[in-house]
Amino acid sequence: MHDILKVCLGVFYLSAVWSQDLQQVKRIVGESITFEIPNLQPDTEINWRYRPMLAPSSTNLTVTIINRKIKTVYDERFKTRLQLVNNTDSLRINNLQAADSGFYQVEEFSLKKFLKKFQLTVYNPVPEPHVKKMNGSVELGNRTCTLLCSVGDPSGVTVSWMRNGKSLGTTQLNLTQGYDVTYTCVASNPASNQTTTVTPSDYCLDQGHGAVTQWNHYIVIIALCLSWLSL
């Protein structure tokens, strides 16, 4: 019984330490990230290790910093994109790529002392959503105007309609009335979002109806002509 308790406490302690030490950050492709390292002695040697999101648990030495200068960058991909900020030990990566996503761990070299760990996720920018009118349906005599909110490349992007700042949780808006209220179509991922705001009346007001009415006129005229001809 005691052993189980000890194991449980151990697991609890480890997960608490883990979540405390891991800082999660999100960025968009092309942006930069600065990993803040609180004041170290100026002459400290620190090492950064990097591990891609889905790689096995081994980490590779990426960059060595001594006396607030970048000494060696081991990983080709980062060679031109690393800098130290304002004469501190805070490391900045410029022009982020999706492939930079992963875990970044920093340690003090001489003491083998673990300092901090970051989980960086780099997202593609969200495309602007567009709005399209779908073929309407008629339910119990009510004409329904259906507006679809979508993005060209939906991978990793959540799309939904919003009204008054509240998500409606749907990409398809079925309206029979209230065409003058504005709706916002939102495309988002965890790092950013884009919106398009529309007034349904711009899409829904009676184009179809007008055409039908006109068509009806033609039918009436043709019918009249036919009846005159047959006289």
8 Å CB contact between 129 and 159: yes
186 binds ligand NAG per the rule CB under 6 A: yes
57 binds ligand NAG per the rule CB under 6 A: no
Total interface residues for ligand NAG by CB under 6 A: 22
Interface residue with ligand NAG among 67, 83, 137, 216 (CB under 6 A) is 137
Stretch that binds ligand NAG, among 3-11, 76-84, 170-178, 201-209 (CB under 6 A): 170-178
Q: 170 or 199: whose CB is closer to ligand NAG?
A: 170
Interface residue with ligand NAG among 80, 170, 207, 213 (CB under 6 A) is 170
Q: 66 or 192: whose CB is closer to ligand NAG?
A: 192
142 binds ligand NAG per the rule CB under 6 A: yes
**Residues 24/28/32/38 CA torsion (nearest 10 deg):** -10
Shortest distance (Å) from residue 82 CB to ligand NAG: 14
140 binds ligand NAG per the rule CB under 6 A: yes
Interface residue with ligand NAG among 15, 67, 72, 174 (CB under 6 A) is 174
25 binds ligand NAG per the rule CB under 6 A: no
Binding residues for ligand NAG (CB under 6 A): 34, 51-52, 55, 58, 60, 85-86, 134-135, 137, 139-140, 142, 170, 172, 174, 176-177, 186, 188, 193
